[in-house]
Amino acid sequence: MTQIQSLDDLAAAIPDGAKLAVVPDYSGVAMTATIALIRRGVRNLHLVCVPISGLQADLLIGAGCVATIETSAVTLGEFGGAPRFNAALRHRRIQVLDATCPAIHAALMASEKGVPFATLRGLVGSDVLARRADWRVIDNPFEPNDAIVAMPALQPDVALFHAHMADRQGNVWVGRRREQIVMAHASKTTFVTVEEIVDGDLLADEKTAAGVLPSLYVTALAEAKCGAWPIGLWEVYPPDETFLQAYAKEARDDDGFDRVLASLLNGATRAAAE
């Protein structure tokens, strides 16, 4: 049965060293939970970006929470590069497992289906393949002289994301964000923050059922109003561009990053930013 918890309890349930799957900025980033994780001092995470990340990964890296990151990219988009990720690369503070968007999705889908590996074609001969000792070029068993890449199934310990709403049974409405569903199916546990917990049964309502992640796949959830801020949540609130622009400038050095992080840890909110 899905547990309804406080944010602090949810953050406490994500252990040091966990393989933590997170979503891109357009897909419901659990930013309030991320701040709670940093506040509690989580360490040595293996961050799996599905398939990219931005501010969330940059904050976790800058706060010293990440040992390894598996991703296709870390970027602040129109606001520029991710400064703490770039600094960590330069100073070799983190291990980076290069990937592509299709590769991450395929490896998660292998875990979702309970098979040991996934296969892709487009990686053959690429620089990415040369950097991944855990990926193998194999012969297509059904077609002679046809090389394909096999990659092991990717099973995160925890999937973490933010959504619009959940009911008290633990069913979570994710709308069209199917990557959230694949993450939950592939991961050992799934933690979700939501804008609101509603009465009724989201699975029983034909208007919402098709976009629901059933409670069977949700380990715990917490209510967090504006829980994606300063990243936006589609059809609810936009990204806080003022904050993101200021972050991209301030976080270029350690002192500036520390000031921004301190403001977040001390309770900066979307309302306060406005």
In a domain, 111, yes or no: no
* Domains of the chain: total: 2
| Mean pLDDT within 224-234 | 97
- Per-residue burial over 194-207, b = 16 or more CB atoms within 10 Å of its CB, e = otherwise: bbeebeeebbeeee
Residues 67-97 pLDDT 10s: 999 999 999 999 999 999 999 999 999 999 9
- Confidence at residue 269, expressed as pLDDT on a 0 to 100 scale: 60
Non-local CB neighbours of 233 within 8 Å, separated by 6+ positions: 28, 162, 164, 195, 227
| Predicted confidence (pLDDT) at residue 179 exceeds the cutoff of 70 | yes
263 is a domain residue: yes
Indicate whether 143 and 191 sit together in one domain: no
**190 found inside a domain:** yes
* pLDDT bracket for residue 267 (50, 70, 90): confident
Per the structure, the complete domain to which residue 203 belongs is given by 3-99+155-273
Confidence of residue 10 (pLDDT cuts 50, 70, 90): very high
Residue 270 confidence (pLDDT) above 80: no
| Residue that is last in its domain, among 130, 152, 174 | 152
**pLDDT of res. 17:** 98
Is the pTM here over 0.85, yes or no?
A: yes
Q: Are 238 and 257 within one domain?
A: yes
Task: Say which CATH number the domain at 9 has.
Answer: 3.40.1080.10
Whether residue 195 sits in one domain with residue 89: yes
Q: Are residue 75 and residue 179 in the same domain, yes or no?
A: yes
Cα 84 to Cα 33: distance, rounded to the nearest angstrom: 19
Task: Using a pLDDT cut of 90, give the percent of the chain over it.
Answer: 94
- Given a cut of 90, whether residue 215 has pLDDT beyond it is yes
| 145 shares a domain with 41 | no
The confidence band for 125, taking pLDDT boundaries of 50, 70 and 90, is: confident
Would residue 107 count as lying in a domain?
no
* Torsion angle (degrees, nearest 10) of CA 4, 226, 27, 204: 50
| Per-residue model confidence as pLDDT tens digits over 136-169 | 999 999 998 999 999 999 999 999 999 999 999 9
pLDDT at 272: 42
Q: Which residue has the higher pLDDT, 115 or 145?
A: 115
Residues 148 and 161 reside in one and the same domain: no
94 and 195 share one domain: yes
Residue 262 clears pLDDT 90, i.e. is over it: yes
32-56 per-residue burial string, b: 16 or more CB within 10 A, e: under 16? bbbbbbbbeebeebbbbbbbbbbbb
Domain co-membership, 187 together with 255: yes
Residues 146, 175, single domain; the answer is no
CB distance 216 to 185 below 8 Å: no
**174 within domain boundaries:** yes
The answer to whether residue 18 sits within a structural domain is: yes
Confidence of residue 265 (pLDDT cuts 50, 70, 90): very high
| Predicted confidence (pLDDT) at residue 274 exceeds the cutoff of 60 | no
Q: Is residue 110 part of a domain?
A: no
Are 160 and 234 part of one and the same domain?
A: yes
Query: How confident is the model at residue 192, as a pLDDT?
Result: 98
In this structure, are 127 and 184 located in the same domain? no
Question: Based on the domain organization, do 52 and 22 belong to the same domain?
Answer: yes
Q: Is residue 249 part of a domain?
A: yes
